[in-house]
Structure 1
Amino acid sequence: MSTLPPISTVSVIGLPVAVTTYADAIDWIKAAARKADQAYAVEAANTHVASLSRHDKDFGEAMARFDLICPDGMPLVWSVNRQLPAPDQLTDRVYGPTLMLKSIEATQGEPDLKHFLFGGKESTLEKLQLRFSEDFPETSIAGAYSPPFGEWPEDEFDRICQKIRQSGANLVWVGLGCPKQEHWIAKHKDKLPPAVYFGIGAAFAFHAGEVKQAPAWVQKYGMEWLYRLCAEPRRLFKRYFTYNSLFVWYSLKEKVLKRADSRQ
């Protein structure tokens, strides 16, 4: 059985963030999908994910089950780079929606790598499948499933697993929203069909054209949260205020503790 490409990690307020690029992450993802010996969990983590994993014990335990945590937000990239020598520092983040597109593009003409879209509304999934079939005609989108709204019936997990198995997919994009998707992947990881499972959040809505992404220059300077806050202030104000503040607090606390340890 082949081994997975090694990727080093750096702790960012307790979260093991991968020191990786899009290309290296995709190499790891493709190798894990082909290994097909278990369910692997991949996350593109921003400040919300990092802060919540530190602040909420249950979510922290869920994230501990993930195999690859990419630096989605620029503040995480900056935190990683502060701990690395200049030659090893990252020059860009691994943004979840872009990782999804690049992964789908990278599997064109590779019939052993098949994608499954899980989560979101039926209409959203239809838009996604149409877009991907037009943009990446040689990539296999093997299936898609929109789960029931609200509380799921008792046999829903078995139904989901059956659909994934029947599709033959080994790359499963889970768009249930954070933190639901991370809890779902972590809780069921040992029972899920062998594949790579991605907690992908808002990527479905972005790629379906239902929500506009921030301009590239806004993303580069780590201000995407402000762009999205202006677009959806009622829904996002509490999240961004709370978890951005917590990220700053935990980062400063960690820095102070490291300085204290170095003086002893």
Structure 2
Amino acid sequence: MPVLVITGTGTEVGKTVTTAAVAATALAAGRSVAVLKAAQTGLRPDERGDADEVARLAGPVTTAELARYPEPLAPGTAARRAGMAPVSPREVADRAAKLAAEHDLVLVEGAGGLLVRFDAAGGTLADAAGLLGAPVLVVAHAGLGTLNTTELTALEVRRRDLELAGVVIGSWPDSPDLASRCNVADLPEVAEAPLLGAIPSGAGALPPADFRKTAPTWLAPRLDGTWDREAFQVREGPQPG
């Protein structure tokens, strides 16, 4: 798995912190890691982006960012409004392939969901994954509504004949509600792919040393970690009536 494409079921699902956890865990396993942010939106040129945040939390990774646009919009829309050149799936795939020649693992982090458009031609992160032949890791919400968005994302991955590596819950709450507890069992069923971890809520606020030490416990062995879904399984609670 030299390249892993990381997408979310939408925005604000914990994708960047999950990417950092995957990177930190791979580094702890002795692998060299590069992180490629396909397109960064909503930041000025002098602000720290998602790839920088991954490096801050995970440690010594190579970072790359193909394009940055000032407005917090889909990359294609942000590029058009800024009068800037868009990013194409081919550019993403070419840069990822170059990084893969020099690293054990390349993490390609998208912007928002799998089908967020990069350019006027409708190119997406899914197209880049197809060009790379790379597996896709889906980061999902813990709670109510996540089953629908996760299943839709998984269906599109399979429709394109891409490999769905699995699902990670991007922000597991300190006090999970009934929906979240049930979703531990239901997410892998609707995705037809394994649940590969759960990142604790607030993990991105940990001191980097603590983040790196603990990250392997949040991810399953397929991602070089020690997380065990069966041990994590939370009782769903009493049935009504």
- TM-score, length of structure 1 as denominator length: 0.31
Q: Which structure has the larger Rg?
A: 1
- TM-score, length of structure 2 as denominator length: 0.33
